[in-house]
Structure 1
Amino acid sequence: MTSTVSSPPRTVRIGSRKSQLALVQTHWVQEQLQKHFPDRRFEVHTMSTQGDKILDVALAKIGDKGLFTKELEVGMLQHETDLAVHSLKDLPTNLPEGLMLGCVTERENPADALVVHEKHKDKQLETLSPGSVVGTSSLRRLAQLRYHFPHLEFKDIRGNLNTRLAKLDEGQYDAIVLAVAGLTRLGMSDRIHQVIPPEISLHAVGQGALGIECRTDDAEILDLLKALEHRETAQRCYAERAFLNTLEGGCQVPIGVNTKIEGDRLTLTGMVASLDGKRLIKDAISGTPDQAQHLGIQLAEKLREMGAQEILDEIFEQIQRS
């Protein structure tokens, strides 16, 4: 009588950027998967993306389509890795053929945060002196802050979180704007001086959530990822991504959003602003959570009718000329 020995389940290889924040996020995903599937092995494979290598040029000038994701996607398509963990705000809305967004995790606070130099500890955004230098690498934050605070001066800032904080502490900036979620995940919540309300700064699409990308034909991995899916976050982010995709904007375009689910109502607020901060178009739409993508498309069309497309066309021309 012959006995058959079943082969152990395959090792799952997780792709990640090498930055400190990316690794914290990826190791969290690894730990969660390990907890749900203790009989499996999950390995982290790191790689540098184009966005990690080019640190001396403003993001808007080098184009942002897949800037922090392309190398990770090639790894999956070549079967070197099985899935990749992204900050969802970095993941383009149009993915390469053969890949899909397999899972959206529970969201951290998606808001933007003001971090100030020690000498401005008694100030808020509203009370910073005229001419104060505020650092941000995001055109979305820049346009909204210029709209609300035209008396402040804004300066581009690149690098990882630690690099940006060091530049602030050295006095190169009076304040900088970062994501609450990134500071929280790195254990730096104490640096959050002010959580900027959505009335001033709508956040980036997908901000605060992790998006796990995988191959569309890998049913085994898709099944594993179901354990990490957070339904409410996913519905909110699908509405946001549909809004962005319909407006054909990348993460380096001044498009901001805010979503909330109360009872059986999903409310999506969306915004498009000019780079100089002089024009800002904003509106909101509500419906049921299972209409998430339809709501995103509807709101985008509504903003287009209000003049958003003209603003976006101007911005693309400005970026190409610069």
Structure 2
Amino acid sequence: MRLLTFSTGTQASSRVGVVRNEERVVDIASAAALLHVELPFDPTDMVSLISAGAPAQTVLEDIVRRAPDDLPLDAATLHAPIPRPRKNVFCVGWNYLEHFAEGEKIRPHIKDMPAFPTFFTKAPTAVTGPFHTVPYFVDLSAQLDWEVELAVVIGTGGRDIAKERAMEHVFGYTALNDVTWRDIQRRHGQQWFKGKSLDGTCPMGPWIVTRDALDPAGLDLSCRVNGVVKQTSNTRCMYFDIPTIIAELSRGLTLEPGDIIATGTPPGVGHARTPPEFMKPGDVLETEVGGIGSMRNPIGGI
């Protein structure tokens, strides 16, 4: 299934929907009411649905099959599938060999790939929708960069998760762009948090594809700015695979339903180009992950 969070002009509050027949969306709350189905989750909250586990997915499948009505996908305003995560978005740095290599000129003190995944986070307030405008903070920086990534959404929580069981904890997958203000990223020493957490600079979506509907191995990744391809790769090129990331991240740290893990970006980022390239107001950022879909985010002022 493809699960999204959306609103419409007639009903501004956001709610959960399921994509049906490619161009139609089933409003789960409305359909459940018409079918007299009692939902085991809050239909306005994607994390509530995720937390409800397998029984919730069974109910969803039944509702989508029997729903007497739906609406056109293009009539819906899509928000990030989890518009306001309950925790920071977990991120993995340097997870594609070529991306690690292209950054050597700005970190000459680190020559070898790390033995363990490099983790950092993005604030929940950075998350924005798949077609929302990314704000441009002109007074703070002029170095706005792009990073296409596959994101993993945790379904079943746990701590010290064994690598062999890690995929059982996955709910699904979505596309994410780890938009980064490069000079701010480096302004605060060795931590990356501030430059990666400004408001509205983590486009996510357009929906979550559930684990049973997608194999994350071998997915094409693409990032375009103003129609020009800047990044292109495939998830098979990840240095640390998803089970390794989940196992290492969960060591002594409890993962919970709805947690989001961005799995790293391939080469082609703007700061590593010669000369460096950065986005500016009026540009359009497109992010695509095969098997999931595409996002289109204008870069705007604030």
Q: By the TM > 0.5 criterion, same fold? A: no
Q: Which has the larger radius of gyration?
A: 1
Q: Which has the higher helix share?
A: 1
Q: Scaled by the length of structure 1, what TM-score is found?
A: 0.24
Larger RCO: 1 or 2 (CA < 8 Å, sep 6+): 2
